[in-house]
Amino acid sequence: MADRHVTQQNIFSLLNKLDDPDADLRYMSLNDLFGILNNPASSFLASDPRSSTKLADGLLKALDDQHGDVQNQALKCLGPLATRLPSEALMPLLEELTNLTSSQTIDTSVPNTALRTIVDTLPRPHVGQPATPAATTAYNAVSKVLIPRLTGPTQSGSGRRGSVVRGMLEKDPSKGFSSDAIDVLIKVVTCFGPLLQEPELAALTEPVMAIIHNDTAGTVVTKRALAAISALVLFYSDHQLNAFVKRLADTLSSPNISTVHRRHLIAAIGTIARSAPAKFGPHLNSLVPFVFSAVGEDGVTGN
């Protein structure tokens, strides 16, 4: 109990220093917090919602620090903190970070990186094995908070009637699509894929395919979307995969499809075939003719 009290007081003291005007002191305070969070002495946080919430709030504030080194050190702290948080504190932290991804005042890559860091640190299921209670608890938090914000739009927490928040994967009118948000989705799928339900997989697929279908999406974001769809397909049921392949074939057979759109879909076929050959292989016969046709149209196989 004495060790817990000392550690608790040290945490509070270091959190108070995060308001110091000296950036070096803020950085060193976060460095010390990182050491505490990686020490078994901080395990009491899992049963102390007050302390863990105060710590999470301090780190969230540090993510908005004007000094990059301070921001990066706060990001480092979020990983070990996620393993210490009680379940009732994890969802509010995820919600705060998803709200920051639509901020107009900070670099939104910071909260997206924070989300990836947390998801990567949480207990996860393993293919072919029953999920542990810890992994199930972590999945429930991701499922209730993060997945709806990725797929969006969702009801705003501001309390204003009818107010909604744009989904993280939706196109921002001024910034376009977010490759950082796609990376969050990829992390969610790779870490919690075995537990994802079919409606969740379908909901995550829609915004990803919307990017792949979009002629104006940039090269970087399109490549990340291709990586995302190849990760999602690994966890499709047979029924879901059949429906996905049929949609691909129907779109490719449309006479109104643009050259860029066709190129994106063919790239998707190639990416999925490489990442999930055993699962996707039996469906290639229905898609290969579209690939050969496009190659012929481009004149690659001509004399």
Domains of the chain by residue range: 1-88
Q: What does the buried/exposed string (b/e) look like for 185-207 if buried means 16 or more CB atoms within 10 Å of the residue's CB?
A: bbbbbebbbbbbeeebbbbbbeb
pLDDT at position 180, please? Answer: 95
Q: What's the pLDDT score for residue 285?
A: 86
Quick one: which H or E segment has residue 294? Answer: helix 288-297
The confidence score (pLDDT) of residue 157 equals: 55
What's the gap between Cα 217 and its chain centre? 19
Distance CA 78, CA 37 (A): 9
Low-confidence ranges of the chain (pLDDT < 50): 158-161, 298-303
Q: How far apart are CA 73 and CA 58, in angstroms?
A: 12
Contacts of 87 (CB under 8 A, 6+ apart): 137, 140, 141
pLDDT for res 173: 84
Dist CA 289 CA 286 (whole Å): 7
Rounded Cα distance, 71 and 92, in Å? 20
Integer Cα distance of 238 and 242 in angstroms: 6
All residues at 6 or more sequence positions from 210 whose CB lies less than 8 Å from its CB, including other chains: 169
Q: How many CB atoms lie within 10 A of CB 223?
A: 15
Cβ burial 49-63 (10 Å sphere, 16+ → b, else e): eebbbbbbebbbebb
Q: How far is CA 19 from its chain centroid? A: 29
Which residues are registered as beta bridge partners of 155? 164
User: Looking at residue 302, what is its pLDDT?
Assistant: 39
- Reported in sequence order, the residue ranges of 133-195 that DSSP labels E, i.e. its strands, are 154-155, 164-165
CA 137, 138, 140, 144 torsion: positive or negative?
positive
Check whether domain 1-88 has CATH 1.25.10, yes or no = yes
